[in-house]
Amino acid sequence: MAMLDTNEHTSSYFAATANWQTDYPRLLGEHRCDVAIVGAGFTGVSTALYLTERGYDVALIEANRVGWGASGRNGGQLIDGFVNVDKIEKRFGADAADIAYQVGVECRDIVLQRIEKYSISCDLKFGFLDLALFEKDMDYFRSEIERKQEKNYPHKMELVAKEDMHSVIGSDIYIGGLINHGNGHLHPLNLCIGEARAAEQSGARIFEESPVTRIHHGDNPRVETKNGVVHAKKVVLAGNAYLGKTEPKLYGSVIPAGSYIIATEPLTPEVANELLPQDMATCDQRVGLDYFRLSADRRLLFGGLCNYSGRDPRDITATLRPKMLKVFPQLESTTIDYEWGGNIAISINRIPQLGRIKNNTYYAQGYSGHGVAPTHIAGRILADVIAGDSERFDVFERVRHVKLPGGKWFANPALALGMLYFRLKKEILE
Distances (CA, A) of 72 to 60, 233, 300, 316, 428: 17, 29, 17, 18, 36
Residue 424: the pLDDT is 42
Q: Report the C-alpha gap between 369 and 75 in whole angstroms.
A: 10
Q: Distance between the two ends of the chain, CA-based, in angstroms?
A: 34
397, amino acid identity: E
Judged on CB neighbours under 10 Å (0-12, 13-18, 19+), 405 is: exposed
CATH architecture of 13-74+189-252+348-399: 3-Layer(bba) Sandwich (3.50)
What is the average pLDDT across 205-214? 98
Query: What is the percent of the chain where pLDDT is above 70?
Result: 92
Tell me the pLDDT band of 413, cut-offs 50, 70 and 90.
low
Domain boundaries defined on the chain: 13-74+189-252+348-399, 125-185+256-345
Contacts of 163 (CB under 8 A, 6+ apart): none
What is the average pLDDT across 96-118? 96
Residue 1: the pLDDT is 34
What is the average pLDDT across 78-107? 92
Give the sign of the dihedral formed by CA 171, CA 174, CA 177, CA 180: negative
Q: Report the C-alpha gap between 191 and 189 in whole angstroms.
A: 5
Of the CA atoms within 13 Å of residue 372, those in its CB half-sphere come to 25
Residue 304: the pLDDT is 86
What is the overall mean pLDDT for the chain? 91
SS3 158: strand
Asked if 13-74+189-252+348-399 and 125-185+256-345 have one fold, the answer is no
Higher pLDDT pick, 363 / 425:
363
Selection from 306, 80, 94, 68 nearest residue 189 by Cα = 68
Instruction: Determine the CATH number of domain 125-185+256-345.
Output: 3.30.9.10
Residue 300: the pLDDT is 98
Higher pLDDT pick, 290 / 400:
290
Residue 405: the pLDDT is 62
Higher pLDDT pick, 304 / 130:
130
Give the global pTM. Answer: 0.93
Q: Give pLDDT tens digits for 36-72.
A: 999 999 999 999 999 999 999 999 999 999 999 999 9
What is the average pLDDT across 290-306? 94
